[in-house]
């Protein structure tokens, strides 16, 4: 089977699998002390924390392991909101965010926090003028959360400009970087971003592990943030619970490999994407329209609509041979809010599919896919 649903999840890298295997036997708790299996587990977690920090260009102590980006998004937004409860401040995010941001925004609204949604343009990029107005309004927001790369259409937001603007007005800034990790270079040391969410299974690591990056200020102090999960005080008192050592080791290895191979993968995926879009244009010119932007985008996510075709029927028909999707796996039962936010009609949404590529895909697979589509 050809796997073209890498924005939903990626296959485990064999190097990652190898790295994880010993820790399925080594069962020590990294929070225990003195005896060797505990100390070895602690060292393995520290090495993984270092690798994740290196991929992001931040300090290892800024990496808080969580169960994935959904938890990180919940932890950061609810944690900041909780710390500033009753301040009357609002929360600013965009209309094209992942459901784990938008559903948290809905929850905050039920607790009396006003939410301002920034629109996106037809290419899926946030409206900078509207965002600037919200940043410079009289009462600054408690937090701004704008995704780095969109999971359905691949639009890349100008996070450097948005984070600098937020800093200028002293507003904490969060970005969901789940889709950009390992696909575009990220160096948090150069950017005034306080909070970042990431996930291991989008970079060929295991599922159920990710991180919330919580940056320290110039004095080395972490910002005020209430934990989502209270307990034994693991992860610098910010996320309690016994650490999942095999998953953390796998995430660390995936981050190391992603950093090592970033340029090669970026080029490979970008050339696969150019080939795919050229072939789609060549063979389906009269019915094909791209929902993904042509510039300022992540390599590897191609959202395309086929006039007159029902996406669910197409995906089902392709399923024995090729895995593609109609959009986010996390809201697959509803018509895409992302496509709606970029101006697609319901009919257009229902004829759109997302093809998402990874480093493991090949030109031959694209040729086969085009052959299958041509029937
Ligand atoms: N944010 C974005 C942009 C995503 O693409 C995803 C995964 N679909 C998530 C958050 C949630 O990540 P996880 O599966 O690790 O909870």
Residue nearest to atom 12 of ligand 1 (CA): 69
Are residues 195 and 48 located together in one domain of the fold? Answer: yes
Are residues 298 and 221 located together in one domain of the fold? Answer: no
Which pLDDT does position 331 carry in this prediction? 62
Domain hosting 38: range is 14-260
Which pLDDT does position 86 carry in this prediction? 74
Instruction: Tell me the CA–centroid distance for residue 352 and ligand 1, in Å.
Output: 20
From 260, 288, 319, the end of a domain falls on 260
List, in sequence order, every beta strand (DSSP E) within the chain. 2-3, 63-66, 91-94, 115-118, 143-145, 173-176, 195-199, 210-214, 288-290, 301-306, 322-323, 352-356
Whichever domain contains 330, its CATH number is 3.90.1150.10
Are residues 251 and 267 located together in one domain of the fold? Answer: no
Residue 70: exposure state from Cβ atoms within 10 A (0-12, 13-18, ≥19): buried
Instruction: Tell me the CA–centroid distance for residue 98 and ligand 1, in Å.
Output: 7
The atom number, within ligand 1, closest to the CA of 201 reads: 15
Give the pLDDT of the chain (375 residues) as one tens digit per residue: 999 999 999 999 999 999 999 999 999 999 999 999 999 999 999 999 999 999 999 999 999 999 999 999 999 999 999 988 777 789 999 999 999 999 999 999 999 999 999 999 999 999 999 999 999 887 889 999 999 999 999 999 999 999 999 999 999 999 999 999 999 999 999 999 999 999 999 999 999 999 999 999 999 999 989 999 999 999 999 999 999 999 999 999 999 999 999 999 999 999 999 999 999 999 999 999 999 999 999 999 999 999 999 999 999 999 999 999 997 766 666 889 999 999 999 999 999 999 999 999 999 999 999 999 998
Whether 330 sits among the annotated catalytic residues: the reply is: yes
The atom number, within ligand 1, closest to the CA of 199 reads: 15
Mutate to test the pocket of ligand 1, among 202, 206, 211, 213 (most ligand atoms within 8 A of CB): 202
From 207, 227, 260, the end of a domain falls on 260
Domain count within the chain: 2
CA distance 265 to 271: 10
Residues with CB under 6 A from ligand 1: 68-70, 98, 100, 147, 151, 176, 178-179, 199, 210, 328-330
Task: Report yes or no: 68 and 201 within 8 Å, Cβ to Cβ.
Answer: yes
Are residues 253 and 349 located together in one domain of the fold? Answer: no
Instruction: Tell me the CA–centroid distance for residue 304 and ligand 1, in Å.
Output: 21
CA distance 167 to 95: 22
Are residues 300 and 241 located together in one domain of the fold? Answer: no
- Closest among 310, 298, 31 to 182, alpha carbons compared: 298
Are residues 211 and 285 located together in one domain of the fold? Answer: no
Are residues 177 and 56 located together in one domain of the fold? Answer: yes
Instruction: Tell me the CA–centroid distance for residue 136 and ligand 1, in Å.
Output: 30
Q: Which of 58, 187, 330, 344 is catalytic?
A: 330
In the chain the first and final C-alpha atoms are separated, in Å, by 16
CA distance 41 to 49: 12
Are residues 128 and 227 located together in one domain of the fold? Answer: yes
Are residues 244 and 276 located together in one domain of the fold? Answer: no
Which pLDDT does position 84 carry in this prediction? 80
Mutate to test the pocket of ligand 1, among 66, 178, 298 (most ligand atoms within 8 A of CB): 178
Which pLDDT does position 180 carry in this prediction? 98
Are residues 291 and 197 located together in one domain of the fold? Answer: no
Cα 40 from chain centroid (whole Å) = 30
The atom number, within ligand 1, closest to the CA of 71 reads: 16
Partnered with residue 91 across adjacent β-strands are: 115, 143
Are residues 203 and 266 located together in one domain of the fold? Answer: no
Mutate to test the pocket of ligand 1, among 6, 98, 102 (most ligand atoms within 8 A of CB): 98
Which pLDDT does position 73 carry in this prediction? 98
From 196, 228, 260, the end of a domain falls on 260
Instruction: Tell me the CA–centroid distance for residue 40 and ligand 1, in Å.
Output: 30
Whichever domain contains 103, its CATH number is 3.40.640.10
Are residues 324 and 235 located together in one domain of the fold? Answer: no
């Amino acid at each position: 089977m050809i796997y073209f649903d890498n924005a939903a999840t990626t296959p485990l890298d064999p190097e990652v699998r190898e790295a994880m295997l010993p820790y399925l036997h080594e069962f020590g708790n990294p929070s225990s002390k003195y005896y060797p299996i505990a100390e070895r587990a602690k060292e393995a977690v520290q090495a993984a924390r270092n690798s994740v920090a290196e991929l992001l260009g931040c300090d290892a102590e800024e990496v808080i392991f969580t169960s994935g980006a959904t938890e990180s998004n919940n932890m950061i937004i609810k944690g900041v909101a909780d710390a500033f409860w009753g301040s009357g401040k609002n929360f600013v995010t965009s209309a094209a965010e992942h459901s784990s941001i938008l559903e948290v925004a809905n929850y905050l609204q039920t607790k009396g926090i006003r939410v301002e949604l920034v629109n996106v343009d037809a290419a899926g990029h946030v409206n900078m003028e509207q965002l600037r107005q919200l940043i410079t309004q009289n009462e600054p927001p408690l937090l701004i959360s704008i995704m780095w790369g969109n999971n359905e259409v691949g639009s890349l937001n100008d996070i450097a400009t948005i984070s600098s603007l937020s800093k200028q007005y002293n507003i904490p800034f969060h970005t969901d970087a789940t889709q950009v990790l390992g696909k575009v270079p990220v160096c948090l040391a150069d950017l005034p971003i306080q909070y970042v969410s990431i996930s291991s299974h989008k970079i060929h690591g295991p599922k159920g592990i990710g991180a919330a990056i919580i940056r320290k200020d110039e004095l080395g102090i972490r910002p005020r943030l209430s934990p989502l999960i209270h307990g034994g005080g693991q992860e610098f008192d910010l996320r309690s619970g016994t650490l999942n050592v095999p998953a953390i080791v796998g995430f660390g290895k995936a981050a190391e490999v992603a950093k090592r191979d970033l340029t090669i993968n970026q080029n490979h995926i970008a050339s696969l994407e150019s080939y795919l879009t050229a072939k789609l244009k060549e063979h389906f010119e009269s019915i094909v329209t791209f929902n993904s932007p042509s510039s300022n985008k992540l390599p590897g996510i191609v959202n395309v609509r086929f006039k007159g075709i029902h996406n669910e029927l197409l995906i089902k028909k392709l399923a024995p041979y090729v895995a593609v999707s109609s959009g986010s796996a996390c809201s697959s039962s509803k018509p895409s809010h992302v496509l709606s936010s970029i101006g697609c009609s319901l009919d257009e949404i229902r004829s759109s599919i997302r093809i998402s590529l990874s480093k493991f895909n090949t030109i031959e697979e694209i040729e086969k896919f085009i052959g299958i589509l041509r029937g």
